[in-house]
Amino acid sequence: MSPRRDTQLTPDELAALLRDARKAALATVDQDGFPHVVAMGFLAKDGAIYMTSYGKAQKVVNARRNPKVAVMIETGDRYAEFHGVMIRGRCEVIEDPAQVEMVIREAAEERDGADPRPEPGALARASKRVVLRVTPEKVASWDHRKLGGAY
């Protein structure tokens, strides 16, 4: 088996990463063709990645113009501990305030468990926000802990 396959996350490991990680990097393409990368909170649900943002934010403008995006979720403090996933896919911008509220509430529930607390003011600003739903087309994962220090 190739070393690359040896470092891939198993389906259970990937599910745990998506459940436990708190931050993702969302990459869109700006009007000049350059990557635009921002840190985002996210919710992994039903095989997609959900995020919320202000509707006028640059990342949303970029996703409307070109829905091809990438999301990277990675944890670990040192190279030998890095494990994560890069998801390339299509981003749908959903403007329904009820959907925005649902994602805000579900993300808080995932993050905080039995005592979900949406970010202060997040629900009050739901009407100005949108949902970004990223549907995966290509997924690559890695777990450097599986290298056993051989890097």
Among 144, 22, 23, 9, which residue's Cα sits nearest to residue 81? Answer: 144
What pTM did the predictor assign?
A: 0.89
pLDDT digits (tens, 9 = 90+) for 116-130: 566 666 666 778 999
Residue 116's pLDDT is what? 59
pLDDT at 4 over 70: no
pLDDT digits (tens, 9 = 90+) for 89-109: 999 999 999 999 999 889 888
Looking at this protein, which amino acid is placed at residue 89?
A: G
Cβ atoms 41, 104 nearer than 8 A:
no
pLDDT digits (tens, 9 = 90+) for 70-92: 999 999 999 999 999 999 999 99
**Considering its fold, how many domains does the chain have in total?**
1
Domain span at residue 53 reads: 3-147
CA distance 27 to 49: 13
Q: How many CA atoms lie within 13 A of 147 on its CB side?
A: 13
Sheet holding 68-75, edge to edge: 35-40, 24-29, 68-75, 83-94, 129-143, 48-54, 43-45
pLDDT digits (tens, 9 = 90+) for 35-45: 999 999 999 99
Q: How many other β-carbons are positioned within 10 Å of the β-carbon of residue 27?
A: 18
pLDDT at 115 over 80: no
- Name the average pLDDT for the chain: 90
Residue 139's pLDDT is what? 97
Task: Please report which confidence band the pLDDT of residue 56 belongs to, taking 50, 70 and 90 as the band edges.
Answer: very high
* CATH of residue 67: 2.30.110.10
